Amino acid sequence: MSITKNLQSVQQNIPPHVRLVAVSKFHPNEAIEEAYKCGQRIFGESRVQELVQKESSLPKDIEWHFIGHLQTNKIKQIVPSVTMIHAIDSERLLSEINLHAQKANRTISCLLQIHIAKEETKFGFSFDDCREFIASNRWQKFENIEIAGLMGMATYTENKIQVRNEFKSLHLFFQELKTTQFKEKNYFCELSMGMSDDYQLAIEEGSTLVRIGSTIFGNRNY
Ligand SMILES: *Cc1c(COP(=O)(O)O)cnc(C)c1O
């Protein structure tokens, strides 16, 4: 199967209110160019150096999303080129991004990652820690950041009921914030959930951004 065919079939499975982040990490520029020719404009990367290199050599109308675990010492490098950062898991990270965004005179959309999986290996705020942070209103002082919504990764399991329930819990929490502290904030509108194996479920449970890699580009060579 070609990238073009894979991408077209994914696009057919995604309703118009959901946007596709084509996760191109570990794949070469040629793979991205093929997807670009099919109209794909949002690409997701999880390593800073890789994103920066690809951004400098590929078309300028690509929207780059950073979807990996971001280290504070690398923020500076991606700030000029990134449109959205998906996996914010601490106030400190948000605060550091704000500083660099300020220096670069940019506003960056950020998603707070919530730990919804039953796996220790995954990152993210707990519901309670996130609730507390949002209620503190400290995020309001980060003038060069827009908290555009939430992101989560479900447990890696065959159990579809569990995966669905994890997505459901994230959607509920999103609604909670949307109707309280973010009521007047129209930019708080994104729910990033769903990957190759579970994006259909995620869409049924309210996802607005799906992050799909291997179904489009094939297996990654780490
Ligand atoms: C790699 C990655 C994806 C894409 O995973 P696939 O299973 O290849 O679709 C999505 N989200 C995050 C955070 C990732 O790191």
Residue nearest to atom 10 of ligand 1 (CA): 211
Ligand 1 centroid to Cα of residue 153, in Å, is: 9
- Phi and psi at residue 125, to the nearest 5°: -70, 150
Ligand 1 centroid to Cα of residue 177, in Å, is: 25
The pLDDT value recorded for residue 173 is 98
The pLDDT value recorded for residue 24 is 98
Q: Determine the atom of ligand 1 nearest the C-alpha atom of 214.
A: 8
Residue nearest to atom 7 of ligand 1 (CA): 196
The pLDDT value recorded for residue 199 is 98
Q: With left for phi above 0 and alpha for psi between -120 and 50, is residue 221 left, alpha or beta?
A: beta
- In tens, the pLDDT along 34-70 reads 999 999 999 999 999 999 999 999 999 999 999 999 9
Q: CB within 6 Å of ligand 1 — which residues?
A: 23, 25, 46, 67-68, 153, 195-197, 211-215
Residue nearest to atom 13 of ligand 1 (CA): 67
The three-class DSSP label of residue 145 is strand
> Strand pairing of 190-192 and 19-23?
unpaired
Task: Please say whether the structural domain 3-217 has been given the CATH code 3.30.450.20.
Answer: no
Ligand 1 centroid to Cα of residue 183, in Å, is: 30
Q: With left for phi above 0 and alpha for psi between -120 and 50, is residue 73 left, alpha or beta?
A: alpha
Mutation test residue for ligand 1: of 6, 43, 195, 207, the one with most atoms within 8 Å of CB: 195
Q: Determine the atom of ligand 1 nearest the C-alpha atom of 151.
A: 13
Residues of the chain with pLDDT below 50 are none
25, 220 Cβ separation under 8 angstroms? yes
The span from the CA of 194 to the CA of 188, in Å, is 18
